[in-house]
């Protein structure tokens, strides 16, 4: 059985006021996540990620279409779905700040129908697992942002959900915590859980997911392996540089794999590369020309989309 | 665990969460110095007015009424509970859990019923003798459960208001003020119900303080037990009714939220 099946889900938000506009947050989205997969839902702001996660976690109704979690309809069979899922969303909310971390977990344990003893045991295990055991009895309001996030993850695991919905779970974490978090996601998969990870972070999606569905403006663009994503990421690079003589820029423009060289306000010159290996040649040339302040960065998600779509001759 | 056991377990945890909220605001010392002294002062103020009028009966009338008003007012504070929940951003998570949010709300603010009752009893049993009121032993013991009943009924009413305030955020303070004034003016705190036109008296019977207060006055006046129990039963019914209405409105709130998208993750 598939863990998550989404069939042509559409969700329209009608305007609350007469002057408001109608938003099609999801437009006939279909996707399938087999049991045991870490599936990325990658898209820029407003793509519809949270909307889909909400529908799957039974807190929002679709306008049309069907969705099932482990075979149960998320609209009609909420009682069957809810015990099977765990939810984690980014940010600092969703916790009781005046309770301790441990009390929060035990509270949710009760809501997930654990006996007090089971809840105590699981809370302790999870606190250790997310590295919060030594802070467990402090009030949440005293936690740092990243600590709240870790507690949030533990909270999402209190019900021992077989399918986990993670919506931007690493927002607010420092890089080290985010790395540990990703390792933990891998462990959860190894325990046989299925994970749907909504994110706008391409690197995160590439690192942890088995497959990634790219969505934009409510539509699925493609489902890719993270390797394809990785290739795109390593091929397309952006180099920002200041104070380079025009002659040198002309030379760089001639290097194979350099897509564009443009002047950008406030940045200096932006060089975009679209072939593996070209970045290195460009950097070498810049350094030998004595350029200072050279910065490389990843392309934006939109740019990657444009590339992927362009290559496939797809239309948005 | 059985369905009943899991429900009670959720209520117990929700109750404890409420207590933790409260303990973050008050310590024993600050409760006594900051709150309880205020309660005593408020009750004494009205009792002094009665003394000014040179009438013991009026003094005791005001003293009992204003003491019990405290129990009702504190119970009704539970209407703030949902703003707390909204602020915490936990509502979508409650809805997505296998338990009903309604169960949580039925217990989350119940500490207020206890706090209100203790404050009221404390005021009555300290200010009462100070003003020379005698507490007919052991009859007076009946006042304790009756006060708790008023606290609980008011908690049910407050929970109902919480559901309204949740949906119509903008009228939050209007609801608070109106409730406060109606409890004080219409429930027989300072003047007997008979003072008002009959329709108003009937309406007042639906508020969570009126019947309980009549029962308690009956205890002090030495009325027959039937009459006291009758009023107590009405108080219980009113509290139960409001609580049922509250739970239904929370259910509707959740299903509406699913439809219109107002259950926001963390927003
Ligand atoms: N309750 C709502 N009422 C009206 N419009 C909404 C509501 N929720 C979402 N939308 C709109 O639906 C679209 C998709 O939003 P959604 O939150 O699903 O995007 P997202 O991919 O999660 O974005 P982000 O990366 O910003 O979290 C947006 O245009 C948003 O404004
Ligand atoms: Mg989102």
Interval between CA A24 and ligand 2 midpoint (Å): 15
Q: Which of A54, A106, A112 sits opposite B98 (nearest CB)?
A: A112
Please report the ipTM that was assigned to this predicted complex.
0.85
Q: Which residue of A has its CA nearest to B84?
A: A96
Whether A59 and B1 lie within 8 Å, measured CB to CB: no
| 3 state SS of B258 | helix
CB count, 10 Å around CB of A200?
18
> CA B267 to CA B255: how far, in whole Å?
19
Q: Which of A98, A116, A167 sits opposite B265 (nearest CB)?
A: A167
Tell me how far CA of residue B196 lies from CA of B188, B199, B200, B202, B216, in angstroms: 10, 8, 6, 10, 20
Classify residue A306 by burial, with Cβ atoms within 10 Å: 0-12, 13-18, 19+.
middle
Is A304 within a domain?
A: no
Q: Show the domain range for A273.
A: 237-297
Q: Do residues A252 and A291 share a domain?
A: yes
> Which residue, A185, A211, A231, sits at the end of a domain?
A231
**Confidence grade of residue A309 (pLDDT, cut at 50, 70, 90):** low
CA dihedral B33, B35, B37, B42 (to 10 degrees): 160
Domain with residue A243: its CATH number is: 3.30.70.100
Interval A26-43: pLDDT, tens: 999 999 999 999 999 999
Query: Which residue blocks in B168-224 are alpha helix, DSSP H?
Result: 172-186, 198-204, 210-221
What is the number of domains present in chain A? 2
Match 């219409």 to its residue by tokens.
B186
Q: Do residues A212 and A133 share a domain?
A: yes
Whether B17 and A58 lie within 8 Å, measured CB to CB: no
- Are residues A156 and A164 in contact, defined by beta-carbon separation less than 8 angstroms? yes
Token pair listed for A281: 């040649």
Interval B64-118: pLDDT, tens: 999 999 999 998 888 877 777 777 888 899 999 999 888 898 898 899 999 999 9
Is A314 within a domain?
A: no
- Are residues B100 and B251 in contact, defined by beta-carbon separation less than 8 angstroms? yes
Q: Do residues A169 and A252 share a domain?
A: no
Q: Do residues A130 and A24 share a domain?
A: yes
The yes-or-no verdict on residue A315 having pLDDT over 50 is no
> Which residue, A210, A231, A252, sits at the end of a domain?
A231
What pairing do the DSSP bridges indicate for beta strands A219-224 and A268-274? unpaired
DSSP state letter for B169: G
Q: Do residues A213 and A243 share a domain?
A: no
Is A181 within a domain?
A: yes
Chain A residue numbers touching B14 (CB-CB < 8 A):
107
> CA A298 to CA B115: how far, in whole Å?
58
Decide: A54 in ligand 1 pocket, CB within 6 A.
no
Decide: A214 in ligand 1 pocket, CB within 6 A.
no
Whether A54 and B263 lie within 8 Å, measured CB to CB: yes
Decide: A51 in ligand 1 pocket, CB within 6 A.
yes
Whether A113 and B259 lie within 8 Å, measured CB to CB: no
The yes-or-no verdict on residue A313 having pLDDT over 60 is no
Q: Do residues A165 and A277 share a domain?
A: no
The protein residue whose alpha carbon is closest to atom 4 in ligand 1 is A13
Q: Of A208-212, A291-295, B213-217, which range is least confident?
A: A291-295
Q: Do residues A114 and A166 share a domain?
A: yes
Residue B89 contacts A, CB cutoff 8 Å: yes
Q: Do residues A165 and A252 share a domain?
A: no
Is A303 within a domain?
A: no
Is A146 within a domain?
A: yes
pLDDT at A233: 73
CA dihedral A49, A50, A52, A55 (to 10 degrees): 180
SS3 sequence of B84-118: HHHHHCCHHHHHHCCCCHHHHHHHHCHHHHHHHHH
Q: Which of B89, B97, B263 sits opposite A60 (nearest CB)?
A: B263
User: By C-alpha distance, which of A131, A86, A309 is closest to A217?
Assistant: A309
For chain B, percent helix, then strand, then coil, each to nearest 5?
85, 0, 15
Q: Which ligand is nearest to the CA of A27?
A: 1
Q: Do residues A20 and A102 share a domain?
A: yes
User: Where is A263: in which H helix or E strand?
Assistant: strand A258-264
| Mean pLDDT value across chain A | 89
What is the reported pTM?
0.85
Chain A residue numbers touching B261 (CB-CB < 8 A):
13, 54, 60
Q: Do residues A168 and A288 share a domain?
A: no
Low-confidence residues of chain B: pLDDT under 70? 266-267
CB count, 10 Å around CB of B24?
13
Interval between CA A50 and ligand 2 midpoint (Å): 4
Domain with residue A211: its CATH number is: 3.40.50.300
| 3 state SS of B150 | helix
Is A189 within a domain?
A: yes
Chain B residue numbers touching A93 (CB-CB < 8 A):
88-90, 266-267
Is A164 within a domain?
A: yes
Interval between CA B259 and ligand 1 midpoint (Å): 15
Is A308 within a domain?
A: no
Residue B4 contacts A, CB cutoff 8 Å: no
User: By C-alpha distance, which of A225, A304, A306, A307 is closest to A39?
Assistant: A225
Match 């939109």 to its residue by tokens.
A302
Q: Do residues A212 and A269 share a domain?
A: no
The yes-or-no verdict on residue A316 having pLDDT over 50 is no
Q: Do residues A225 and A243 share a domain?
A: no
Chain A residue numbers touching B10 (CB-CB < 8 A):
110-111
């Amino acid at each position: 059985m598939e863990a998550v099946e989404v069939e042509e889900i559409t969700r329209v938000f009608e305007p609350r006021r007469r002057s408001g506009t109608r938003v099609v947050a999801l437009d006939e989205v279909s996707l399938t996540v087999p049991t045991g997969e870490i599936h990325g839902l990658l898209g820029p702001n407003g793509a519809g990620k949270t909307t889909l996660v909400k529908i799957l976690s039974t807190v929002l109704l679709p306008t049309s279409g069907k969705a099932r979690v482990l075979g149960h309809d998320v609209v009609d069979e909420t009682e069957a779905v809810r015990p099977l899922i765990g939810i984690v969303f980014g940010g600092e909310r969703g916790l009781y700040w005046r309770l301790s971390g441990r009390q929060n977990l035990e509270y949710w344990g009760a809501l997930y129908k654990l006996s007090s003893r089971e809840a105590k045991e699981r809370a302790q295990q999870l606190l250790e697992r997310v590295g919060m055991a030594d802070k467990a009895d402090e009030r949440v309001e005293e936690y740092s942002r990243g600590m709240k996030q870790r507690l949030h993850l533990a909270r999402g695991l209190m019900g021992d959900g077989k399918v986990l919905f993670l919506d931007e779970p690493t927002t607010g974490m420092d890089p080290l915590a985010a790395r540990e978090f990703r390792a933990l996601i891998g462990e959860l998969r190894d325990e046989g859980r299925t994970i749907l990870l909504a994110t706008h972070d391409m690197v995160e999606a590439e690192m942890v997911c088995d497959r990634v569905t790219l969505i934009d403006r409510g539509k699925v663009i493609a489902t890719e392996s993270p390797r394809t994503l990785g290739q795109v990421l390593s091929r397309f690079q952006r180099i920002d540089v200041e104070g380079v003589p025009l002659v040198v820029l002309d030379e760089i423009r001639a290097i194979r794999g350099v897509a564009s060289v443009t002047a950008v306000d406030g940045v200096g010159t932006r060089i975009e590369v679209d072939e593996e290996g070209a970045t290195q040649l460009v950097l070498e040339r810049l350094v030998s020309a004595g350029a200072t302040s050279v910065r490389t960065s990843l392309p934006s998600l939109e740019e990657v989309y444009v590339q992927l779509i362009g290559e496939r001759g797809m239309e948005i | 665990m059985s369905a009943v056991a899991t429900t009670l377990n959720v209520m117990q945890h929700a109750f404890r969460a409420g207590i933790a909220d409260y303990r973050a605001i008050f310590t024993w010392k600050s409760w006594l110095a900051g709150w309880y002294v205020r309660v005593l002062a408020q009750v004494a103020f009205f009792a002094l007015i009665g003394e000014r009028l040179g009438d013991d009966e009026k003094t005791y009338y005001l003293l009992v009424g204003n003491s019990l008003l405290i129990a009702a007012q504190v119970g009704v504070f539970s209407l703030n509970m949902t703003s707390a929940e909204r602020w915490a951003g936990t509502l979508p998570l409650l809805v997505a859990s296998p338990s009903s949010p309604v169960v949580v709300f039925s217990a989350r603010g119940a500490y207020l019923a206890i706090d209100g009752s203790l404050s009221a009893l404390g005021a009555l049993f300290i200010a009462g003798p100070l003003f020379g009121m005698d507490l007919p032993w052991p009859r007076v013991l009946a006042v304790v459960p009756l006060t708790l009943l008023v606290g609980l009924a008011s908690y049910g009413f407050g929970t109902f208001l919480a559901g309204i305030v949740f949906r119509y955020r903008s009228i939050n303070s209007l609801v608070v003020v109106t409730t406060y004034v109606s409890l004080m003016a219409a429930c027989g705190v300072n003047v007997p119900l008979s003072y008002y036109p009959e329709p108003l008296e009937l309406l007042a019977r639906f508020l969570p303080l009126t019947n309980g207060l009549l029962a308690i006055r009956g205890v002090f006046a030495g009325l027959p037990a039937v009459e006291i129990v009758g009023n107590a039963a009405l108080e219980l019914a009113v509290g139960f009714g409001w609580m049922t209405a509250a739970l239904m409105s929370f259910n509707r709130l959740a299903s509406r939220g699913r439809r219109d998208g107002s259950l926001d993750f963390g927003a």
